[in-house]
Amino acid sequence: MKAVVAPEELEEYFDRLWPILRSITGEGVRRSHDILSEIIPLERIEIPSGTECFDWVVPKEWVVREAYLIDPGGKRILDIAENNLHLVNYSVPFRGVISRRDLDAHLYSRPDLPEAIPYVTSYYEPRWGFCLSHIQRDALPEGDYQVVIDTDLIEGSLTIGEAVLPGETESEVLISTYTCHPSMANNELSGPLVSAFLYRELKSLEKRRFTYRFLFLPETIGSVAYLQLRGGELKKKLLAGYVVTCVGDSGPFNYKKTRHGNHLADRAALHALEVDGRVDAYKVHDFFPDGGSDERQYCSPGFNLPVGSLMRTMYRDYAEYHTSMDDKNFINFNAMSDTIEVYAKIMETLEQSEIWDRVDPRCEPQLSKHGLYPSLGTIDREQVSAMMWVLNYSDGTREIAEIARLSGLSIDQISNAAQQCAKAGLIVPLGHLDREGES
Amino acid sequence: MKAVVAPEELEEYFDRLWPILRSITGEGVRRSHDILSEIIPLERIEIPSGTECFDWVVPKEWVVREAYLIDPGGKRILDIAENNLHLVNYSVPFRGVISRRDLDAHLYSRPDLPEAIPYVTSYYEPRWGFCLSHIQRDALPEGDYQVVIDTDLIEGSLTIGEAVLPGETESEVLISTYTCHPSMANNELSGPLVSAFLYRELKSLEKRRFTYRFLFLPETIGSVAYLQLRGGELKKKLLAGYVVTCVGDSGPFNYKKTRHGNHLADRAALHALEVDGRVDAYKVHDFFPDGGSDERQYCSPGFNLPVGSLMRTMYRDYAEYHTSMDDKNFINFNAMSDTIEVYAKIMETLEQSEIWDRVDPRCEPQLSKHGLYPSLGTIDREQVSAMMWVLNYSDGTREIAEIARLSGLSIDQISNAAQQCAKAGLIVPLGHLDREGES
Amino acid sequence: MKAVVAPEELEEYFDRLWPILRSITGEGVRRSHDILSEIIPLERIEIPSGTECFDWVVPKEWVVREAYLIDPGGKRILDIAENNLHLVNYSVPFRGVISRRDLDAHLYSRPDLPEAIPYVTSYYEPRWGFCLSHIQRDALPEGDYQVVIDTDLIEGSLTIGEAVLPGETESEVLISTYTCHPSMANNELSGPLVSAFLYRELKSLEKRRFTYRFLFLPETIGSVAYLQLRGGELKKKLLAGYVVTCVGDSGPFNYKKTRHGNHLADRAALHALEVDGRVDAYKVHDFFPDGGSDERQYCSPGFNLPVGSLMRTMYRDYAEYHTSMDDKNFINFNAMSDTIEVYAKIMETLEQSEIWDRVDPRCEPQLSKHGLYPSLGTIDREQVSAMMWVLNYSDGTREIAEIARLSGLSIDQISNAAQQCAKAGLIVPLGHLDREGES
C-alpha cells in the first residue's frame, strides 16, 4: 500500500472547506460533510437536541445568519462574513445599542498575540461576544455600538458523519476526527482532510483484513454521544484506533499513546514511524487526560479503548493554536500528503499484524516436504530465517510485528513468511484452530 | 499537618527516661511506659512468662536490685547504679568471691573501642557477666573480687504498650518501636520518643482517614509475641507500617523497604523524603532479613506485612552502636524534631493516598455542570489538569500519590482535585461503589 | 564438584572417533557410540526407518561401502577412505562414466574458502555428489570420469544413545548432543566428548539431587524422534536442559538462552559463567529459532522445554564451520577440559538450587534453640546472615541461587545455611510441606 495523494487535491478541498462557519452543531457541519462526502461516503447520524449522553446533554442546534457591529462612525466591523472567528461560537441572539465600555465585557482578544483573532466558544453557557485582534480592540473609539447577532438556538440535532469500510473480519480500526472548528487550518481542517483521503487509500486496497470505521464528529460532545450510542459495540470490536488532529503542518511527528501504553495500536504506530522513510524524528507521549481531543473520551476508564493519536505539531505546542493565525500559511500540503502515507503505513502494519497459531506446534515442520525449503544452492537465508521465526513464535500470543521485532527482520519479511507457512497449512490465524483439549 | 515538637521537650523526656535500666521484661520497661504515657496513652498488654509464641517462649521476668564488684582494694566498681550497661542484661543472680583470672570469663569489653562499655545481653542462656571499657579491664589488678548480682528471674510477664488512634476507617497504619534498651540514645531512646510525639501530632489532626496503631515492645520477642496474639488481624487491616529506630541523630535518612519492595508503604515514605524540604539526601535499602529490628518479624514470609523502616544513621553504620558511647552527645534534638515531621509527612501522604472510583467511569463528566470548570478567563490550568487526571485515573487501582507521579503534579494538587470531584459526587472512595454487576 | 579431565584423555578419544564416517543413521553412528560407551553407558534406542515423527519420517538407513572417482588419467580421487567429507552425505548409489561437464552438477566446493572441502548433506532428497576444495575442482581436467558410489538405503533404523544417571528425585536435567557429523572437530566431535566426560564427572558425585539424562542423537531428526517418543514425559520432569555443541575450541563462551528467557536453566548457566574463574568474557544470546541445533525442537512452541545451549565459538561465527578446516587444529583439548568444568559448575549450581519452604513461616525461629546460633563471642556474621536470608526467603518461590543473588552472599554460603536449617527441621524442600489448607 503506497498512499499517493496529490498536494493540489488536498489544497482544493481545503479551499472549499475553509470559509464555512462550523460549530458543534448546525448547517456548517452538514455542508462540510457534504463536501467531504465526495471523498468518503459519510452517513449521517443525527442526535436530537436534549439527548442525554452520560453526564452530558446534546445542546440546542446553533443557527447563524449574520453577526457584526456598527461602530460609532457607522462602519460595519467584526463581521463574520469577513472572518467567522469574530463571533464567539454559540453566541445567543442579541440586537441592541451598547456603549464602548459595556461592549468591552463582550470582547475577546489576546494581548500576548496582538494581531490574532482568538477562537472562543461558549457552548454550555448562554453568552454573546466578539473576538478580534488586540490591536483592533485598542483602536475601537468611544461611543455607541450597534450589535447585530442574528443567531438562534433551536431544537435540532448534532451531526455525526460515519463511514465504514468493511474487511474480512469484524475486528475494527477506528479513525476519528472532528469537524466543529470554523476557519482554522492545522487545528482543524487538517484532521478531516487526512482522514477522508486515508479512507480513499484504504478503499483502494484489494483486500482488507480489518473493518475500518471513520468518524467525523464535533469534539468531545460528539465522541461522548457516539460512545453513548455504540460504545459497547466498539469496546467489543476495536483492535486499534487513532484520533486524527493537528496533522497539517510540516513539523516533526508526535504520537500520544493509548491509555494502555503498549497496545497493538501503539506498537503499530511506533513501527510505522520507525520504518517510514519520511519520518526523521518524532516524540512519543504517554497518555495524558488533561488536554488533547476525543481520545480523552475513548480512553476514559469506563471504556479504556486502545485509541492513540498521531499528530504533527500538537495543540498548544504552537502559539497560533486556536487563533486566526492557524491558517493556510501555517500548514503544508506536501507534508499533509506525507502524513496520510504514514497513517497508511500504520494501517498496513496492523493489516500484517495477524497472530498465528501453529497447527501442530511440536518440533519444526520439515520445510522441504512442504515445498518451503529453497533447493540446495539457492538458499535465501533471510527467507528461511523468517519462516523459522514465524514457525517458532506463532504460538497464539505474538503478532507479526512482535515477531519482526524479536527477529530483527522486517515486518514484510515476516509477513511474507507467514503467508507461505499459512499456504502450506502449517499455521492458521489465531482462533481458527480446532485443537482437541488444548488450552 | 505540620509537626512542631520543641527540641527542649524531647530533651526533657530523654533525660527522664535515660537512667532507667530497661530490658525485654521488668519494671524498667513499665516505668518507661509510664513516663511515655504522659504523651501517648499506652495500654499494657502483659504476656505471662512461659507463653509459647511460634518458635519462641516468653522468658521469665528479670528483676534487678543491685549489681557491682568489690575489687581487691575494697573499692566498689562496675556498679549499675553508675551505668546500667555494666551488667550483662538478663544476668542470673550470683554472689561470691572469684579470682581476677576466673572473673575474666565474665567480662566483656571492646578492644577496638577501648573507652566504650559494650551492651551485652543473654536472654535465653543463663549467664552472668559485667561489661566495662577495655582500658578499665586492662587496669583491673590481680586478686580476689567479690561479686554481687542481686537479680531474680521470676514468673512474671513481658510488657507491650499499645495505643490506637482511631480513624474513619479500620485500615491501619502501624508504628512500632522498642523499649528494651537500657541507657543508650540513638539506639534506642530515639525510637520511643519519636513515636510518642508522632502520636501527639496525629492526635491533633481534625480527622484521620486511617486508624493508627502504636506499639512499644521489646525487640524481637515483643513483636513475635504480638504477632502471635494479633498477627492475623494485622494482616487483614494493615495498610502500611514502619519500625521507628535509630532516629535520634542528624545523619542522613536511611529507608529500608518492605519485603514487597514497591508497596504503598514504600511509595509514601519515598514521597515524603522527596518532597520534604528538611531532607537533603537519603539512602534506600531493599529489604534485608539479616540485621535490623522488628521488621524481620513483621516481614517474615508467613506474614509479609508491608512494614518498612525510616531511620537516620542506621544500626551498625556507626561505631558507637550498642555501647555507652551511643549517648546524649551522639544525638541531636533538633534533628529528632525534624524526623518527627518527616514521619508526619509520610502519614500525611498516606492520608491523601486514597484510591478513588469514578461513579460513572464512561467519558469525562461535564465539569461546568458540576461547578468544577473555572469560568472563562480565570482558568487555573493546573487545577483543571489535576481534575482531569483524577477523573481519568480514579479507576479503583491508583492511589493519589500514583496519579500525582503520572501527572507530574503535586500530591496536594491531586488531592485537592480529588476532594472537589468527590464533593461533586463524581468519585467515591474505593469500595464505596455499588455498581451492578461490574467487576 | 571439581571436574578434572585430562586433555590427553580427550585427545585419545578424539583420535579414535575422528576417522569414522557418521551420518544421521548407520553403522558409523553405532561404532561411535560403542567407543563413547567406554565413558558413558549409552543404551541404544533404535527407531525403524519409516517411523512417523510429527511432521517427519525417519529416513532409510544409509549404508556406505566405498565412494570415489577415477579421473581421465586413471587416478582414484575424492576417495572417502581419504576424507569422508568427499561424499555428499546420504548419496544414493551410482556407478557410471560421466563427462567432466556433467560431473560438475554433482560437485560441491566453496569458492570463498578455496582450500576447504565443504560438508554437504542430502538426507531427504535423493542425490549423489562429491565435495572437494575449489582449487582441486578447478584443476580437474576435461574427459570422462568413472563414478563409484557403493552405498545403499535400506530398511534399517535411526540410532539414539541414551544414558540416565539417577538422582534423589525424578526431576531431570537434560544433556543433549549429536553424533551425526563425520570428520569435523568443533562441530561436531566436541559435543559428544564434552557430554561423555561430563557424565563421568557427575557419576563420581556422592549424591545427586536430580536425575541426569544424556542423549546422543542425530541432529534434528533425532531430537524430533525422541520428542515423539518421550516428549510428554520430558515436559513433566525437565528442570533444565542444555544442547552441547561447538565446545571444542578456546574461544569465549556463548550462551544461547531458553525460549523462556529467564528460566532456572538460564540463571544456572549465567551464574556458572559469572563465578567460574576460567571464564573471562562471554556473550549471551536470546533464543533464536533460525539456526542452532536441537534446542529448536526442544523449544518448539508445543514443548517449550527449558533448554539452552552453552558453546564456545558458535556455528556460523567461524569460517571453518562445516568444512574440512574444522579439524584438530581448530580445537584445543585444554579448553575442552575447561568447558567440561564449566558445564559441571552449571550442574553444581542446579544441584544447589533447591527451592525451600519454611515449615512455619511466621516470624524468625529462635536460632539458639535449634543450635544454629553461634555462641557468644565466636559469631561468624556471614553464616548467621546466610541463615537469615534462607529463613526469610524460603517461601516456596525462590531457589538458592536467587537468594544468593538477593543477599550478595555466595551460593555455597546460602546452600550451606539451607542445609543447616533443613537439618534443624526449619525448612523442607518445596512440595514436601504438608500444610493444612495453605495455598
The grid cell for A362 is 511440536
Q: Which residue matches cell numbers 522445554? A: C305
Identity of residue C286: D
What is the model's pTM?
A: 0.68
Q: What is the distance between the alpha carbons of residues C192 and C213, in angstroms, rounded to a whole number?
A: 14
Residue B114 near residue B133 (C-beta atoms within 8 A): yes
Contact (CB<8Å) C55/A391 = no
Domain with CATH 3.40.630.10 in chain B: 7-59+157-351
A439 vs C: CB within 8 A: no
Beta bridge partners of A53: A56
- Kindly report, residue by residue over B386-415, the tens digit of the pLDDT: 999 999 999 888 888 888 878 988 888 998
Q: Could you tell me how many residues make up chain A?
A: 439
Residue B35 near residue B70 (C-beta atoms within 8 A): no
- Kindly report, residue by residue over C8-49, the tens digit of the pLDDT: 999 999 999 999 999 999 999 999 999 999 999 999 999 999
Contact (CB<8Å) A363/C122 = no
Give C125's contacts in chain A (Cβ within 8 Å). Answer: 368, 376
Contact (CB<8Å) A224/B384 = no
B220 vs C: CB within 8 A: yes
C355 vs A: CB within 8 A: no
The pLDDT assigned to C1 comes to 45
How many alpha carbons fall within 13 Å on the CB side of residue C53? 26
Touching C: which chains, 3+ CB pairs < 8 A?
A, B
Least CA distance to C123: which residue of chain A? A368
Domain with CATH 1.10.10.10 in chain C: 354-432
- Kindly report, residue by residue over B332-362, the tens digit of the pLDDT: 999 999 999 999 999 998 888 788 889 999 9
Contact (CB<8Å) C290/A407 = yes
The grid cell for B245 is 529506630
The grid cell for C388 is 537469615
DSSP structural state of residue C320? T
Q: Of A228, A204, A339, which Cα lies nearest the Cα of A276?
A: A339
Fold adopted by B7-59+157-351: Aminopeptidase (3.40.630)
Give B385's contacts in chain A (Cβ within 8 Å). Answer: 290-291
Q: Of A356, A353, A339, A349, which Cα lies nearest the Cα of A271?
A: A349
Contact (CB<8Å) A297/B358 = no
Model confidence at B439: pLDDT above 50: no
Give A303's contacts in chain B (Cβ within 8 Å). Answer: 362-363
Give C436's contacts in chain B (Cβ within 8 Å). Answer: none
Give C118's contacts in chain A (Cβ within 8 Å). Answer: none
ipTM of the complex: 0.83
A261 vs B: CB within 8 A: no
Query: How many angstroms away from the CA of C43 is the closest CA of chain B?
Result: 46
Identity of residue A294: D
Q: Specify the DSSP element, H or E, that contains C46.
A: strand C43-48
The pLDDT assigned to B430 comes to 77
Domain with CATH 3.50.30.90 in chain C: 62-154
Contact (CB<8Å) A124/B394 = no
Residue in B369, B392, B395 nearest the CB of A55? B369
Residue B127 neighbours by CB distance under 10 Å: 16
Query: How many angstroms away from the CA of B230 is the closest CA of chain C?
Result: 12
**pLDDT tens digits in sequence order for chain C, 439 residues long:** 454 899 999 999 999 999 999 999 999 999 999 999 999 999 999 999 999 999 999 999 999 999 999 999 999 999 999 999 999 999 999 999 999 999 999 999 999 999 999 999 999 989 999 999 999 999 999 999 999 999 999 999 999 999 999 998 888 999 999 999 999 999 989 999 999 999 999 999 988 989 999 999 999 999 999 999 999 999 999 989 999 999 999 999 999 999 998 888 998 899 889 877 778 889 999 999 998 999 999 999 899 999 999 999 999 899 999 999 999 999 999 999 999 999 999 999 888 878 888 999 999 998 888 988 765 555 678 888 999 999 999 988 888 888 887 898 888 899 899 999 999 999 998 765 544 333 3
The pLDDT assigned to C376 comes to 54
Handedness of CA B388, A51, A41, A15 (dihedral sign): negative
A288 vs B: CB within 8 A: yes
Give C291's contacts in chain A (Cβ within 8 Å). Answer: 385, 388
Contact (CB<8Å) C362/B303 = yes
Fold adopted by B354-432: Arc Repressor Mutant, subunit A (1.10.10)
Residue in C122, C227, C291 nearest the CB of A362? C227
| List of chain A residues with pLDDT < 50 | 1, 3, 434-439
Contact (CB<8Å) B301/C394 = yes
Q: Of B370, B398, B332, B301, which Cα lies nearest the Cα of B54?
A: B301
Superfamily of domain A62-154, CATH level 4:
Domain of unknown function DUF2172 (3.50.30.90)
A138 vs C: CB within 8 A: no
Between the alpha carbon of residue A160 and those of residues A25, A34, A47, A228, C334, the distances in Å are 9, 12, 8, 13, 78
Residue C174 near residue C131 (C-beta atoms within 8 A): no
- pLDDT band for position B278 (cuts 50, 70, 90): confident
C380 vs B: CB within 8 A: no
